[in-house]
Amino acid sequence: MKKPKVNRMVLAMCLGCFIMVIFYFQSNLKPASANGSGMGGSLGKSGRTPLQMLYESDQLEQSAVHVTHQGRRELLEDACRSYTHKRRVLIPEDLKHIIVDDQHGLLYCYVPKVACTNWKRVLMVLTGAAGPRRDPLAIPANEAHVPGNLRTLSEYSTSQINRRLRSYLKFVFVREPFERLVSAYRNKFTRSYNTAFHKRYGTKIIRRHRPDPQEEALERGDDVSFEEFVYYLVDPATQREEPFNEHWERVHSLCHPCLIHYDVVGKYETLEEDSRYVMQLAGVEGQVTFPASAKSTRTTGDMAAQFFRNISPFYQKKLYNLYRMDFLLFNYTTPEYLRFR
């Protein structure tokens, strides 16, 4: 006679677990409500946190830019479902590129060569790390990159990390992968002032990938060609020795967009518009202005095509495979100048 009672207890326990699972997934999809704990950041003019502004504002839902970003989120989620099959748990090492602004409820994953210097400057102003300076351009570029000026998510406890991931607005800016790669090469290997990169990477690249190098080149490492850089990237020994430098590491490896649900995926191609959108969500449009970029020195698609002109189809294919996930996840088409198809 006790079996029905036992069955009812088992059923009740299973139902309770199911409800808990549903709540867990909902908590990751919906913005956390603002409360006295301050975990959602400061409230904007509308009385809402940035995350609530994104998902609960009727005014925003009618704007073209809001629709664009909703489409980007959906495309990213679809791509993650299609191309990633193994899920894993985030570890602190995964969160070192995510900058935290507790005052405004923002999490920003910075990607080198995608306006990250200016975003760090803006966040220094917003968090008070810039002192009395209110103009981001008054902050020297090297100061913006000093470790410790801005906190990263990896510095928090597990419970603090989870609360911020759930209640803060998470945003990342991405760029056409090969334009970003060429930009990194130009900046780190063709500028005379980047002697640290020449010594750290240039000498190694020349030693491994240049037949009969001159002694001076081995010592200075300041004349690496783009072809040699590509050989270095696709060489399996490179990543066996150490992770890629952040300037040419893939975005999906820096920011883990299939493990972290980014609310805004900004693009370098629409940098000004997307930056305004983030500032609007954060309610800080009147406090700080995102710096305009210097378009005259920007690496473009046409410029990237010139650099790839001397890369053989075999190595173009290997390089594309290396960066393929960034093309797929962020909806970038295969460049027309590639010849391996």
DSSP annotation string for 97-134? TEEEETTTTEEEE--TTSSHHHHHHHHHHHHTTTTT--
Q: Are 92 and 258 in contact (CB under 8 A)?
A: no
Q: How confident is the model at residue 6 (pLDDT cuts 50, 70, 90)?
A: very low
- Start-to-end CA span in the chain (Å): 71
**Predicted local confidence at residue 38, as pLDDT:** 46
Count other Cβ atoms within 10 Å, centred on residue 135: 12
Q: Could you give the CA distance from residue 169 to residue 333 in angstroms, rounded to a whole number?
A: 28
Residue with tokens 């990477």: 201
In this model, does residue 328 exceed pLDDT 50? yes
In this model, does residue 29 exceed pLDDT 60? no
Q: What contacts 244, CB < 8 A, 6 or more positions away?
A: 233, 238, 250, 253
- What tokens were used for 35? 């409360």
- The arithmetic mean of pLDDT across residues 33-58, rounded, is 67
215-229 b/e (C-beta count within 10 Å ≥ 16 → b): eebeeebbbbbbbbb
- The arithmetic mean of pLDDT across residues 10-38, rounded, is 39
69-126 residue pLDDT tens? 999 999 999 999 999 887 788 999 999 999 999 999 999 999 999 999 999 999 999 9
| Stronger pLDDT, 296 or 272, i.e. the higher one | 272
| Stronger pLDDT, 29 or 339, i.e. the higher one | 339
**Predicted local confidence at residue 59, as pLDDT:** 65
Beta strand 264-267 with 106-109: parallel, antiparallel or unpaired? unpaired
H helices present in 172-220, as ranges: 177-189, 195-197, 203-209, 215-220
In this model, does residue 18 exceed pLDDT 60? no
Mean of the per-residue pLDDT values of the chain = 88
Count other Cβ atoms within 10 Å, centred on residue 4: 8
DSSP annotation string for 45-114? TTS--HHHHHHH-HHHHTSHHHHHHHHHHHHHHHHHHHH--------GGGGTTEEEETTTTEEEE--TTS
Three-state secondary-structure class, residue 300 = coil
**Predicted local confidence at residue 87, as pLDDT:** 78
* Bridge partner list, 101: 106
Q: How confident is the model at residue 47 (pLDDT cuts 50, 70, 90)?
A: confident
228-284 residue pLDDT tens? 999 999 999 999 999 999 999 999 999 999 999 999 999 999 999 999 999 999 999
Kindly report the backbone phi and psi dihedral angles of residue 93, in degrees, each rounded to the nearest multiple of 5, phi listed first: -60, -30
Of 37-41, 132-136, 173-177, where does mean pLDDT reach its minimum?
Answer: 37-41
Nearest to 136 by CA among 153, 148, 150: 150
pTM over 0.85: yes
Q: Could you give the CA distance from residue 279 to residue 234 in angstroms, rounded to a whole number?
A: 38
Q: Could you give the CA distance from residue 228 to residue 173 in angstroms, rounded to a whole number?
A: 28
In this model, does residue 21 exceed pLDDT 50? no
Of 6-10, 299-303, 326-330, where does mean pLDDT reach its minimum?
Answer: 6-10
In this model, does residue 295 exceed pLDDT 90? no
